[in-house]
């Protein structure tokens, strides 16, 4: 088992983990693994990997979208991506002064060049220079040897239940960001930068080009977080706290339902 970027060489049972996530969260979209490679040759050695057609440029959210909707294992270098905005977030392009100016955003997403530059500075990006290629693949395909990140798409109800599972043991408050457009910086960009679970509201581009559905959010996190999430979800399920969350109704007192979960404790 080759370590991922967090030096984690744990042999995770991804089929079992995904089966549990589907059982407790009823996910509709395929969970995806993402892994960076120091050389293009290392990435090309991934079993059954596909490459974009020669000369065709893609947004990286399209690459992820093809993997989760079509089940493909896909690999790219900076040459396959449509521009620096995609490459900088995953560390394949430097966050250089020209990129930081944000000129393409000026007058489109932001009202002044100063606003555009402020947005670029606010984006969380993986460090540049260590990796030359990146691949994505369904977690259950077994083609990526211990991915750097796992990408989970779901509804707000599924995401808060996932967070509840993560917080069941070793509780800590989780804080997430929203840069607006280029929200991949809030999900996989921030997770690659910090190693922390990173929840995002996918942006216009992710929905227009990446196939993200109107009701979907995205959680990006290293694979080490999946076993405790599944354990937490199992404990919550035993307590009767399950997804989908039944609607109690707005005109009936909640006390009977509260007592079923908390007993006689005062809330």
Model confidence over 2-41: pLDDT tens digits? 899 999 999 999 999 999 999 999 999 999 999 999 999 9
Nearest to 155 by CA among 234, 32, 244, 64: 244
pLDDT at 194: 98
pLDDT at 258: 86
Model confidence over 157-194: pLDDT tens digits? 999 999 999 999 999 999 999 999 999 999 999 999 99
Report the C-alpha gap between 242 and 226 in whole angstroms.
18
pLDDT at 266: 62
**DSSP result, the chain:** ----TTS------HHHHHHHHHHHH---SPPEEEEEESSHHHHHTSTT-B-PPTT--B-HHHHHHHHHHH---EEE-GGGBS-HHHHHHTTSS---HHHHH-GGGBTTTBSSHHHHHHHHHH---PPSSS-SEEEEEEGGG--SSS-SEEEEEE-HHHHHHHHHHHTSSS---------SSSGGGTTHHHHHHHSS-EEE---HHHHHTS---TT-EEEEE-GGGHHHHHHHHHHHHHTT--SSPPP--SSS-SHHHHHHHHTT---
pLDDT at 265: 63
Beta-carbon count within 10 A of 16 CB:
13
pLDDT at 264: 73
The mean of the pLDDT values for the chain is: 96
Report the C-alpha gap between 186 and 198 in whole angstroms.
6
Model confidence over 227-266: pLDDT tens digits? 999 999 999 999 999 999 999 899 999 988 888 888 876 6
CB 31 within 8 A of CB 226: no
Q: What is the mean pLDDT of residues 207-234?
A: 98
Report the C-alpha gap between 251 and 253 in whole angstroms.
7
What order of strands is seen across the sheet that includes strand 32-37? 74-76, 133-138, 32-37, 149-154, 217-221, 198-200
pLDDT at 267: 64
HSE (side-chain half, CA atoms, 13 Å) at 153:
25
pLDDT at 256: 85
């Amino acid at each position: 088992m080759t370590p991922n970027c967090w030096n984690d060489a744990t042999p995770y049972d991804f089929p079992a983990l995904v089966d549990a996530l589907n059982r407790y969260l009823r996910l509709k979209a395929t969970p995806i693994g993402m892994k960076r490679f120091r050389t293009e040759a290392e990435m090309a050695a991934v079993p059954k990997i596909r490459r974009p057609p020669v000369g065709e440029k893609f947004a990286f959210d399209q690459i992820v979208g093809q993997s989760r909707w079509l089940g493909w294992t896909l690999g790219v270098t900076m040459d396959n991506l449509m521009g620096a905005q995609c490459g900088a977030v995953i560390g394949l392009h430097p966050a250089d002064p020209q990129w930081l100016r944000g000129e393409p955003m000026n007058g489109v997403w932001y009202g002044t060049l100063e606003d555009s530059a402020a947005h670029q500075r606010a984006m969380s990006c993986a460090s540049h220079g260590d990796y030359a290629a990146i691949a994505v693949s369904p977690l259950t395909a077994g083609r990526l040897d211990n991915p750097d990140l796992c990408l989970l798409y779901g509804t707000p109800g599924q995401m808060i239940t996932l967070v509840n599972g993560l917080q069941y043991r070793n509780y800590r408050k989780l804080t997430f960001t929203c840069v607006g457009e280029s929200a991949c910086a809030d999900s996989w960009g921030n997770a690659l930068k910090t190693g922390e679970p990173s929840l995002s509201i996918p942006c216009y581009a992710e929905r227009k080009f990446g196939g993200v559905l109107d009701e979907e959010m995205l959680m990006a996190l290293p694979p080490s977080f999946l076993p405790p999430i599944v354990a937490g979800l199992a404990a919550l399920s035993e307590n009767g706290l399950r997804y989908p969350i039944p609607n109690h109704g707005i005109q009936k007192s909640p006390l009977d339902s509260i007592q079923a979960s908390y007993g006689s404790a005062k809330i």
